[in-house]
Amino acid sequence: MSQPVQELSFERGLPSNVYAERMVLGSILLNDNAFVTAAAGLAPEDFSLDKHRRIFQRMLDIHNREERIDRVTLANELLRHGELEAVDGLTYLSSLDEGLPELYNLESYVQIVRDKSLMRRLIFTAQETIHKAMLGEDEPDRILAQTEDALLKLGEARAKDSLMSAQQVFDLEDGGVNAFLDPARRVHGIGTGFIKFDEMTGGLRGGELVIIAARPAMGKTALALNIALHVATNKKNPKAVAVFSLEMSKQSLLTRLICSLARVDQQRFRSGYLDREERARLGMAAADIYDAPIYIDDTSSTTMMDINAKLRKLRAQTNLGLVVVDYLQLMPTPNLGRNSNRVQEVGALSRGMKLLSKDLDVPFMVLSQLSRAPEQRVGDHRPQLADLRESGSIEQDADMVAFIFRPEVYQKDREDLRGVAELLLAKQRNGPTGKIPLVFLHNYTKFENPADAFEEEPPN
């Protein structure tokens, strides 16, 4: 029988490696140029012993003054702050680098110290959660949200990439610089099925956060499902799609998908008044979707931690190509403290989405609501970046922001505008912005390319 976790924690104590901490501090005293390497991966609080935290903090103070770090300057700095005795005096400082050879693998020791620090923080977060749960003073959802936010922050700190030289980046490419410059070998994004959009963006790429925003009933969900269906049923290169719907049920989403693919009026489908041809088309569409790698989660209380866990499991089982979240403002927000507001909380969600998309190397298409500003604007009702509802850092975090605009919504008396739609690419980090014409088919709740878009074959 395995030993209880509580007994193991009492016997072993908190995770630490005092020897590695001493090696890091001693290396700095031996050669203060090593401080830059250590400080790139560590902060004073990453050391397990209080005296080591004090020593590293005073080293940081000396370094910030652009002075040399050695036994004398360090001892003087500790003495000036009344901390020399707290670190066991000059004798302990001398022992740190006494007989120590210059380390050429200092980064390994820094990583050990950092890993142990992360383990301790995980333990503290778990203990805090247990304490709050035992007291029972907060609602379970609030405790879960606070824990989720704390864990996401730990993951964000862990996910920081190290700096790489240009040479290292080139060497990662099989074939070196020549392969890196070969257009035929450059990474192409995933096609959306909308020709002009794919031409302007190169498709959706792993690690990108794509925001699709619009006022209610403009067709956000319809557009996202059209793209999801194209990705999952692409005959040349099908990829799995995960759809997190916080508003619609699985059954409603599947109904939309099937009717859209079969080009059958949803109202006729629901009422049951279908002719033989429509039933045949629905049967073929259902068979295609049955085999398509589309995974739907309609849990209304889905959190960032839920999405993280479910996607990691799905990615291990499939070739995950796209994640759709419908929609951002419906997600439970992390608790950021008493002084936080809705803008900061939604901003924390968008930042979490961006970090997760980078970590999983999968594009995230996140739907978002707009404020009432487009409706109140006189003349041109086209959305602008400032119209993003509770925007916070949404605009900043997003690699792309696109707005759906259908002029017929504002000019209902003009029959010539029926079905006219635009996708306004308002932001793109690595490409142009502009207007993309589309056609909206009301009966099928479906967007399509206009007839004149088929001059060139769209990307896969």
Note the pLDDT of residue 234: 84
Q: Give the angle subtended at the CA of 354 by the CAs of 237 and 114, to the nearest 5°.
A: 115
CA dihedral for 276, 279, 281, 287, sign (positive or negative): negative
Cβ density class 326-347: b for 16+ within 10 Å, e for less: bbbebbbbbbeeeeeeeebbbb
Q: Is 171 a domain residue?
A: no
Considering the domain architecture, whether residues 201 and 343 belong to the same structural domain is answered as yes
Note the pLDDT of residue 365: 93
Specify the CATH number for the domain of residue 336: 3.40.50.300
Considering the domain architecture, whether residues 288 and 424 belong to the same structural domain is answered as yes
Note the pLDDT of residue 14: 86
DSSP 8-state symbol, 370: B
Domain that holds residue 310: 187-453
User: What's the token pair of residue 352?
Assistant: 């979490």
Pure H helices in 81-219 = 89-97, 106-135, 140-158, 166-172, 176-181, 195-201
Look-up of token digits 């909380």? 345
Q: Is 117 a domain residue?
A: no
Note the pLDDT of residue 164: 64
Q: Is 128 a domain residue?
A: no
Q: Is 19 a domain residue?
A: yes
Domain boundary, last residue among 107, 123, 144: 107
Beta strands across the sheet bearing 434-441: 294-297, 240-245, 320-326, 364-369, 209-214, 400-405, 420-428, 434-441, 446-448
User: Based on the structure, what is the number of domains in the chain?
Assistant: 2
Note the pLDDT of residue 228: 92
Specify the CATH number for the domain of residue 26: 1.10.860.10
Considering the domain architecture, whether residues 82 and 192 belong to the same structural domain is answered as no
Domain boundary, last residue among 107, 126, 149: 107
The pTM for the full model equals: 0.64
Catalytic residue, from 247, 278, 395, 408: name it. Answer: 247
The pLDDT tens digits along the chain (460 residues) read 344 444 444 456 788 999 999 999 999 998 888 888 888 788 899 999 999 999 999 999 998 888 899 989 999 999 999 999 999 999 999 898 887 777 778 888 999 999 999 899 888 888 888 998 898 887 787 787 777 767 766 765 665 545 566 776 666 666 667 766 766 555 568 888 888 898 888 889 888 999 998 888 788 888 999 999 999 988 888 899 999 988 888 888 888 888 888 888 877 887 778 888 888 888 888 888 888 898 998 887 777 777 887 888 888 788 899 999 987 777 766 554 555 566 666 777 778 888 888 888 899 999 988 877 777 777 778 888 777 765 557 777 888 999 988 888 888 778 878 888 889 998 888 888 899 999 988 888 888 888 766 555 444 5
247 is catalytic: yes
Note the pLDDT of residue 21: 93
